[in-house]
Amino acid sequence: MSADGAKTTISLNIEPSHLNMLGIVHGGVLMSMMDNAMGLLVMLAESNERTVTANMNTHFLSSAREGTLICEAETIHRTGRTITLRASVMDGDGKLLAWGSGAYRKI
């Protein structure tokens, strides 16, 4: 994991429990990685604020069965109460598996 306030990167080694009945990583695993990476970035940037995920959109592009998943997130827009981010999940070879955006709301 790395985080510098402008970008976060997290990784996950694929285990059998991450696979769906087709033998590929379940979409929920990819979405959870993106929500975690984006949420971590929000928490670092807004350390004095409590935030929650208000909305997430995900686009699934490809699949993986084994290896390591890498997720990167970055902030793309900020208003008074809402922070919008973008995240991407790649396999260990850099192949894009999914990308998404999330809006995080200060509460």
> Which stretches of the chain are DSSP H helices?
27-45
Structurally, the chain folds into a number of domains equal to 1
Rounded Cα distance, 18 and 23, in Å: 9
Give tens-digit pLDDT for 31-76.
999 999 999 999 988 777 899 999 999 999 999 999 999 999 999 9
Q: How many CB atoms lie within 10 A of CB 80?
A: 5
Strands 7-13 and 2-3: antiparallel
Query: Residue 90's domain spans which residues?
Result: 2-106
pLDDT digits (tens, 9 = 90+) for 16-30: 999 999 999 999 999
CATH number assigned to the domain comprising residue 7: 3.10.129.10
Say if residue 1's pLDDT is above 90.
no
